[in-house]
A and B are shown apart, each in its own frame.
Chain A
Amino acid sequence: EAGVAQSPRYKIIEKRQSVAFWCNPISGHATLYWYQQILGQGPKLLIQFQNNGVVDDSQLPKDRFSAERLKGVDSTLKIQPAKLEDSAVYLCASSGRPGEWEKLFFGSGTQLSVL
Protein backbone atom coordinates (compact mmCIF):
# COMPACT_ATOMS: atom_id res chain seq x y z
CA GLU A 1 0.00 0.00 0.00
CA ALA A 2 1.38 3.42 -0.91
CA GLY A 3 2.12 5.81 1.92
CA VAL A 4 1.93 9.59 2.02
CA ALA A 5 3.87 10.98 -0.94
CA GLN A 6 5.66 14.34 -0.81
CA SER A 7 7.77 16.28 -3.26
CA PRO A 8 10.30 17.70 -3.64
CA ARG A 9 12.53 15.98 -1.14
CA TYR A 10 14.84 18.97 -0.77
CA LYS A 11 14.60 22.60 -1.74
CA ILE A 12 17.10 25.44 -1.40
CA ILE A 13 15.96 29.00 -2.07
CA GLU A 14 17.01 32.52 -1.23
CA LYS A 15 15.00 34.68 1.14
CA ARG A 16 12.12 36.53 -0.44
CA GLN A 17 11.71 33.84 -3.10
CA SER A 18 8.62 31.64 -3.27
CA VAL A 19 8.37 27.87 -2.94
CA ALA A 20 5.67 25.21 -3.16
CA PHE A 21 5.40 21.73 -1.71
CA TRP A 22 3.11 18.97 -2.84
CA CYS A 23 1.48 16.13 -0.90
CA ASN A 24 -0.60 13.13 -1.94
CA PRO A 25 -2.20 11.43 1.07
CA ILE A 26 -2.97 7.76 1.55
CA SER A 27 -5.94 6.70 -0.52
CA GLY A 28 -9.21 7.01 1.36
CA HIS A 29 -7.88 9.39 4.01
CA ALA A 30 -10.21 12.35 4.43
CA THR A 31 -7.97 14.40 6.71
CA LEU A 32 -4.70 15.98 5.59
CA TYR A 33 -2.22 17.89 7.74
CA TRP A 34 0.80 20.07 7.11
CA TYR A 35 3.33 20.19 9.93
CA GLN A 36 6.48 22.30 10.24
CA GLN A 37 9.45 20.73 12.01
CA ILE A 38 12.27 23.09 12.88
CA LEU A 39 15.61 21.45 13.66
CA GLY A 40 15.67 20.13 17.21
CA GLN A 41 11.94 20.55 17.75
CA GLY A 42 8.83 18.46 17.43
CA PRO A 43 6.44 18.97 14.52
CA LYS A 44 4.03 21.87 14.79
CA LEU A 45 0.68 21.84 12.99
CA LEU A 46 0.33 24.54 10.33
CA ILE A 47 -2.98 23.59 8.75
CA GLN A 48 -5.49 20.75 8.78
CA PHE A 49 -7.99 19.87 6.05
CA GLN A 50 -11.08 17.73 6.34
CA ASN A 51 -11.77 16.71 2.74
CA ASN A 52 -11.25 20.03 0.94
CA GLY A 53 -12.21 22.32 3.82
CA VAL A 54 -9.89 23.90 6.36
CA VAL A 55 -10.65 22.92 9.97
CA ASP A 56 -7.60 24.43 11.71
CA ASP A 57 -5.16 27.02 10.40
CA SER A 58 -4.61 28.86 13.66
CA GLN A 59 -0.81 28.55 13.50
CA LEU A 60 -0.38 29.23 9.81
CA PRO A 61 1.42 32.55 9.12
CA LYS A 62 -1.21 33.68 6.66
CA ASP A 63 0.71 36.72 5.47
CA ARG A 64 3.17 34.41 3.70
CA PHE A 65 1.87 30.83 3.86
CA SER A 66 -1.05 29.43 1.91
CA ALA A 67 -2.38 25.93 1.33
CA GLU A 68 -5.08 24.35 -0.72
CA ARG A 69 -6.68 20.98 -1.22
CA LEU A 70 -8.97 21.65 -4.13
CA LYS A 71 -10.40 18.21 -4.88
CA GLY A 72 -10.13 16.75 -1.41
CA VAL A 73 -7.16 14.59 -2.34
CA ASP A 74 -3.70 16.07 -2.89
CA SER A 75 -2.56 19.37 -1.42
CA THR A 76 -0.09 22.17 -2.04
CA LEU A 77 1.59 24.36 0.59
CA LYS A 78 3.13 27.61 -0.60
CA ILE A 79 5.44 30.14 1.02
CA GLN A 80 5.74 33.61 -0.51
CA PRO A 81 8.00 35.38 0.29
CA ALA A 82 10.24 33.02 2.27
CA LYS A 83 12.17 34.14 5.34
CA LEU A 84 15.29 32.65 6.90
CA GLU A 85 13.24 31.32 9.81
CA ASP A 86 11.15 29.22 7.42
CA SER A 87 14.06 26.79 7.10
CA ALA A 88 12.57 23.53 8.34
CA VAL A 89 11.21 20.17 7.29
CA TYR A 90 7.63 20.36 6.06
CA LEU A 91 5.77 17.17 6.82
CA CYS A 92 2.48 16.09 5.35
CA ALA A 93 0.30 13.57 7.16
CA SER A 94 -3.07 11.98 6.58
CA SER A 95 -5.67 10.06 8.53
CA GLY A 96 -9.28 9.00 8.43
CA ARG A 97 -9.57 5.54 7.04
CA PRO A 98 -12.62 3.83 8.58
CA GLY A 99 -11.53 1.74 11.55
CA GLU A 100 -8.21 3.56 11.77
CA TRP A 101 -9.29 7.17 12.13
CA GLU A 102 -7.02 7.72 15.14
CA LYS A 103 -3.83 6.88 13.22
CA LEU A 104 -1.85 9.65 11.52
CA PHE A 105 0.65 8.59 8.87
CA PHE A 106 3.46 10.89 7.79
CA GLY A 107 5.32 11.37 4.56
CA SER A 108 9.11 11.69 4.38
CA GLY A 109 8.92 15.47 4.32
CA THR A 110 10.43 18.29 2.28
CA GLN A 111 13.57 19.83 3.74
CA LEU A 112 13.61 23.56 3.00
CA SER A 113 16.73 25.69 3.36
CA VAL A 114 16.31 29.45 3.01
CA LEU A 115 19.59 31.29 2.43
Chain B
Amino acid sequence: GEDVEQSLFLSVREGDSSVINCTYTDSSSTYLYWYKQEPGAGLQLLTYIFSNMDMKQDQRLTVLLNKKDKHLSLRIADTQTGDSAIYFCAERNSGGYNKLIFGAGTRLAVHP
Protein backbone atom coordinates (compact mmCIF):
# COMPACT_ATOMS: atom_id res chain seq x y z
CA GLY B 1 0.00 0.00 0.00
CA GLU B 2 0.89 3.64 -0.14
CA ASP B 3 1.58 5.49 3.08
CA VAL B 4 3.88 8.33 4.10
CA GLU B 5 4.45 9.12 7.76
CA GLN B 6 6.02 12.12 9.44
CA SER B 7 6.36 13.39 12.99
CA LEU B 8 3.90 16.21 13.58
CA PHE B 9 5.98 18.86 15.26
CA LEU B 10 9.57 20.07 15.60
CA SER B 11 10.86 23.04 17.57
CA VAL B 12 14.38 24.41 17.08
CA ARG B 13 16.38 27.43 18.11
CA GLU B 14 17.29 29.99 15.49
CA GLY B 15 20.72 29.21 14.03
CA ASP B 16 20.56 25.50 14.85
CA SER B 17 20.05 22.74 12.30
CA SER B 18 16.62 21.18 11.81
CA VAL B 19 16.10 17.58 10.78
CA ILE B 20 12.67 16.50 9.57
CA ASN B 21 12.12 12.79 9.08
CA CYS B 22 9.77 10.79 6.90
CA THR B 23 9.10 7.12 6.23
CA TYR B 24 7.33 5.72 3.18
CA THR B 25 6.08 2.32 2.15
CA ASP B 26 6.32 2.07 -1.64
CA SER B 27 9.73 0.50 -2.24
CA SER B 28 9.46 1.23 -5.96
CA SER B 29 8.96 4.97 -5.53
CA THR B 30 11.04 6.76 -8.13
CA TYR B 31 11.18 10.26 -6.67
CA LEU B 32 10.75 11.64 -3.17
CA TYR B 33 9.91 15.24 -2.50
CA TRP B 34 9.93 17.92 0.18
CA TYR B 35 7.37 20.71 0.00
CA LYS B 36 6.99 23.74 2.29
CA GLN B 37 3.66 25.32 3.16
CA GLU B 38 3.39 28.68 4.88
CA PRO B 39 0.09 29.80 6.47
CA GLY B 40 -2.59 30.46 3.88
CA ALA B 41 -0.34 29.52 0.98
CA GLY B 42 -0.02 26.66 -1.44
CA LEU B 43 2.80 24.13 -1.45
CA GLN B 44 6.24 25.27 -2.53
CA LEU B 45 8.57 22.65 -3.99
CA LEU B 46 11.78 22.79 -1.94
CA THR B 47 13.74 19.88 -3.30
CA TYR B 48 13.43 16.32 -4.49
CA ILE B 49 15.65 13.29 -4.87
CA PHE B 50 15.75 10.47 -7.35
CA SER B 51 15.58 7.05 -5.75
CA ASN B 52 19.01 5.95 -6.99
CA MET B 53 20.67 8.74 -4.99
CA ASP B 54 21.63 8.70 -1.32
CA MET B 55 22.04 12.41 -0.79
CA LYS B 56 21.30 15.72 -2.42
CA GLN B 57 22.46 19.12 -1.23
CA ASP B 58 21.00 22.46 -2.24
CA GLN B 59 22.34 25.47 -0.33
CA ARG B 60 21.05 25.10 3.26
CA LEU B 61 19.05 21.98 2.44
CA THR B 62 20.38 18.43 2.59
CA VAL B 63 18.21 15.45 1.70
CA LEU B 64 19.24 11.98 2.82
CA LEU B 65 17.59 8.85 1.45
CA ASN B 66 17.91 5.40 3.01
CA LYS B 67 16.16 3.20 0.51
CA LYS B 68 16.67 0.02 2.53
CA ASP B 69 14.78 1.49 5.50
CA LYS B 70 12.47 3.61 3.29
CA HIS B 71 13.52 6.67 5.28
CA LEU B 72 13.89 10.20 3.99
CA SER B 73 15.15 13.21 5.90
CA LEU B 74 15.47 16.93 5.28
CA ARG B 75 18.16 18.86 7.08
CA ILE B 76 17.96 22.65 7.18
CA ALA B 77 21.24 24.27 8.22
CA ASP B 78 21.28 27.56 10.13
CA THR B 79 17.51 27.55 10.61
CA GLN B 80 15.90 30.98 10.45
CA THR B 81 12.51 32.28 11.62
CA GLY B 82 11.46 32.41 7.98
CA ASP B 83 11.80 28.64 7.87
CA SER B 84 8.83 28.28 10.22
CA ALA B 85 6.22 26.41 8.19
CA ILE B 86 4.76 22.96 7.59
CA TYR B 87 6.99 20.59 5.66
CA PHE B 88 5.47 17.79 3.63
CA CYS B 89 7.21 14.68 2.48
CA ALA B 90 5.80 13.02 -0.66
CA GLU B 91 6.56 9.96 -2.73
CA ARG B 92 5.87 9.50 -6.38
CA ASN B 93 4.03 6.23 -6.62
CA SER B 94 5.20 3.49 -8.90
CA GLY B 95 1.99 3.36 -10.88
CA GLY B 96 3.05 6.03 -13.30
CA TYR B 97 1.42 9.35 -14.23
CA ASN B 98 3.46 11.22 -11.60
CA LYS B 99 0.94 10.83 -8.76
CA LEU B 100 2.27 12.13 -5.43
CA ILE B 101 1.31 10.66 -2.06
CA PHE B 102 1.79 13.10 0.82
CA GLY B 103 2.45 12.73 4.51
CA ALA B 104 0.47 14.73 7.06
CA GLY B 105 3.24 17.31 7.40
CA THR B 106 5.69 18.37 10.10
CA ARG B 107 5.19 21.78 11.67
CA LEU B 108 8.56 23.45 12.22
CA ALA B 109 8.66 26.20 14.83
CA VAL B 110 11.82 28.32 15.03
CA HIS B 111 12.31 30.32 18.22
CA PRO B 112 14.96 32.89 19.18
Q: Do the beta carbons of A56 and B97 come within 8 Å of each other? A: yes
Assembly CA distance A101 to B99 (angstroms): 12
B88 part of interface (Cβ distance < 8 Å): yes
Q: Do the beta carbons of A42 and B48 come within 8 Å of each other? A: no
A106 part of interface (Cβ distance < 8 Å): yes
Q: Do the beta carbons of B98 and A31 come within 8 Å of each other? A: yes
Interface residues of A in 41-61 (CB under 8 A from B): 41-45, 48, 50, 55-56
Assembly CA distance A30 to B22 (angstroms): 29
Which residues on A sit within 8 Å (CB–CB) of B99?
45, 48, 56
A62 part of interface (Cβ distance < 8 Å): no
How many interface residues does B have (CB within 8 Å)?
24
Interface residues of A in 68-86 (CB under 8 A from B): none
The residue in chain A whose Cβ has the minimal distance to the Cβ of B89 is A42
**What string of 1s and 0s marks CB contacts (under 8 Å) between B87-112 and chain A?**
01010100001111111110000000
Binding site for B on A (CB under 8 A): 4, 31, 40-45, 48, 50, 55-56, 91, 93, 95-96, 101-109, 111
